[in-house]
Amino acid sequence: MARQGIGTGSSPNDGSGDNLRAGAQKVNANFSEIYDYFGDGNNLSFSGGVWDTVSAGINTISSVGIGTTNPRFTLEVGAVGASGTSLYVNGDARVTGILTVGSSSVTLNGSTNEITVGTGITISGNTGIISATQVTIAGEKLTGAGVTSLVAGSNITLSGSTGRVTISASGGGGGGGISNVVEDITPQLGGNLDLNSKNITGIGSANITGVVTATTFSGSGASLTTLNASELDSGTIPDARFPSTLPAVSGVSLTGIVTSIVAGSNITLTGGPTGIVTIASSGGGGGAGDITAVTAGTGLSGGGTEGDVTLNLANTAVSAGSYTNTSITVDAQGRLTSASTGTAYGSRTTANAATGSIADAAAADITITAAKTYVLHKIQTSAAAWVTLYTDTSSRSSDASRVETTDPLPGSGVVAEVIHASGTTSLITPGTIGFNNDGTPSTNVYAKVVNKSGSTQAITVTLTYLPLE
């Protein structure tokens, strides 16, 4: 409530001021507010000299409580305090400047994230480094120059003066293993290192002047330059483990001494002066003895002229042909010079495609999947039709306006065409060689079909051909 003043009028006895009753009410209201603020409404508890407001703040010779009506300390924040404490904060506190504890003995600097204890210890929150002139643990001093040995119980000792790591534990349960070694260990171990089936994992290099014994090895082996054959008892060297020029064994190049390679018990490749490829497999079953490609190099011989290769095959399939008990000789220039007791043949086959339902005299384009290159034997239609085969779609588009009574021009991309008065088969004699002329050759044979049946229907075109490619 704001302070209430008594109205005194403009002049004496002019009747414009408060009457005695109204003035007394304002006086009572002002006193009631003072009593309510400084006392219990009936008695004043304020005594002069306790609060003294000056320009610099509030002076008091008594305790100050914030959040409590009964402060027990010089300054108490909260409702619970500790006996004998000058300042007690019951909750969180934030200091935006530097907090000093004692006579400059401990400082906490929030700007640099550092804790300084006297002049000997600095803890940096930015770097995580604790700097101290000396650290004493159980009476032992740890200083920069004085730390020469660390002992973990009675089992592990790390000596800085000798560089030796001593592990005397026998290992058991989950112990005894070395899980990570960050720095190089250069001194000799002075004996065997038995890790009891534990792993050594590191990011550096291992330099061992003695013998390394292991059941298996793994890794690229890219830096392997020498190999002592006497140390290899058995095993397989993976592909690409050696460079293109093989290393020497006892002064002899591996490239020079490898003269024969045996693939199982059926195939032998002999280098050096003979250059013979021997295939002993009789073939059969899952295709054993099949040959998909043989490239003969100069200097190979098989009992014929120098440079010839002879393949003796028994019931063996070679590429797309079938040979029975046949011997083939290919000379050094890749020419077939002889073939005995055998018959070679390719397999003719058929392919077809159908138009959708088309009206009489209407045309439709179809694509028949056959071969990149082929010998055309027959063209069959399911109903009377005019059928033209092309090498590519552009040739088919260019020929679209040609009428039935006009023959196609040479080089126009037309492979063959037939006109059937009814569903029939036309023999292509002599056989015509067709091919696909796409940018990337495919097995597509492009055709145009004109319905000549007299009714709306779908027409199927079937090709009989011998695939060449």
* Residue 230, SS3 per DSSP: helix
Q: Are residues 380 and 444 in the same domain?
A: yes
| 409-424 average pLDDT score | 91
Beta bridge partner(s), residue 430? none
Residue 34 reports pLDDT greater than 50 = yes
28 in any annotated domain = no
* Residue 60, SS3 per DSSP: coil
Q: Are residues 369 and 305 in the same domain?
A: no
Domains held by the chain: number? 4
Q: Could you tell me the pTM of the whole model?
A: 0.34
Rounded alpha-carbon distances, angstroms, from residue 452 to 363, 396, 415, 420: 10, 19, 21, 8
Per the prediction, the chain carries an average pLDDT of 73
Comparing 61 with 108, which gets the higher pLDDT?
Answer: 108
Q: How many CB atoms lie within 10 A of CB 343?
A: 10
115 in any annotated domain = yes
Q: Are residues 288 and 393 in the same domain?
A: no
Residue 173 reports pLDDT greater than 70 = no
Comparing 389 with 149, which gets the higher pLDDT?
Answer: 389
Asked if 120 and 128 touch (Cβ cutoff 8 Å), the reply is no
213 in any annotated domain = no
pLDDT at 425: 93
Residue 77 reports pLDDT greater than 70 = yes
To the nearest whole percent, how much of the chain has pLDDT over 70? 55
Q: Are residues 394 and 451 in the same domain?
A: yes
In the listed set 340, 363, 380, which residue is the last one of a domain according to the structure?
340
Nearest to 374 by CA among 395, 355, 354, 389: 389
Q: Are residues 265 and 303 in the same domain?
A: yes
Maximal C-alpha separation, the chain: 158
Least confident of 42-46, 52-56, 388-392: 52-56
- Label residue 297 by pLDDT band (50, 70, 90): very low
pLDDT at 170: 55
CATH number of domain containing 462: 2.60.120
Backbone angles phi, psi at 193, to 5 degrees: -110, 105
357 in any annotated domain = yes
Least confident of 97-101, 194-198, 342-346: 342-346
Q: How many CB atoms lie within 10 A of CB 374?
A: 26
**What does the buried/exposed string (b/e) look like for 133-154 if buried means 16 or more CB atoms within 10 Å of the residue's CB?**
eeeeeeeeeeeeeeeeeeeeee
152 in any annotated domain = no
Containing 38, the helix (H) or strand (E) segment is helix 20-38
What is the Cα Rg of the chain in Å?
53
Nearest to 77 by CA among 62, 92, 63, 67: 67
Cα separation, 138 vs 147, in Å, equals: 14
31 in any annotated domain = no
In the listed set 318, 340, 362, which residue is the last one of a domain according to the structure?
340
- Label residue 388 by pLDDT band (50, 70, 90): very high
pLDDT at 235: 58
pLDDT at 108: 85
- Label residue 10 by pLDDT band (50, 70, 90): confident
DSSP code at position 231? G
Backbone angles phi, psi at 430, to 5 degrees: -65, 165
Residue 405 reports pLDDT greater than 70 = yes
Cα separation, 446 vs 364, in Å, equals: 11
Comparing 250 with 343, which gets the higher pLDDT?
Answer: 250
Residue 197 makes CB contacts below 8 A (sequence gap 6+) with none
Least confident of 203-207, 288-292, 364-368: 288-292
Cα separation, 39 vs 163, in Å, equals: 80
Q: Are residues 361 and 440 in the same domain?
A: yes
Residue 414 reports pLDDT greater than 90 = yes
Residue 129 reports pLDDT greater than 70 = yes
Q: Are residues 380 and 319 in the same domain?
A: no
Q: Are residues 264 and 332 in the same domain?
A: yes
| 144-154 average pLDDT score | 64
Least confident of 104-113, 246-255, 366-375: 246-255
Q: Are residues 428 and 462 in the same domain?
A: yes
Residue 457 reports pLDDT greater than 90 = yes
pLDDT at 288: 40
To the nearest whole percent, how much of the chain has pLDDT over 90? 26
Q: Which domain holds residue 407?
A: 349-467
Contacts 24+ apart (CB under 8 A), 92-99: none
Q: Are residues 314 and 375 in the same domain?
A: no
Residue 345 reports pLDDT greater than 60 = no
Q: Are residues 424 and 445 in the same domain?
A: yes
pLDDT at 220: 60
12 in any annotated domain = no
Q: What pLDDT, in 10s, does the model give residues 226-257?
A: 555 555 555 556 555 555 666 666 666 666 55
Q: How far apart are the first and last CA of the chain?
A: 110
| 284-299 average pLDDT score | 41
Q: How many Cα atoms occupy the beta-carbon half-sphere of 220 within 13 Å?
A: 3
68 in any annotated domain = yes
Tokens of 14: 């002019």
Comparing 332 with 293, which gets the higher pLDDT?
Answer: 332
Residue 40 makes CB contacts below 8 A (sequence gap 6+) with none
In the listed set 322, 340, 358, which residue is the last one of a domain according to the structure?
340
3-state DSSP helix/strand/coil % of the chain, to nearest 5: 5, 35, 60
**Amino acid identity of 354?**
A
pLDDT at 125: 85
Containing 34, the helix (H) or strand (E) segment is helix 20-38
Q: Are residues 333 and 384 in the same domain?
A: no
pLDDT at 238: 56
pLDDT at 419: 94
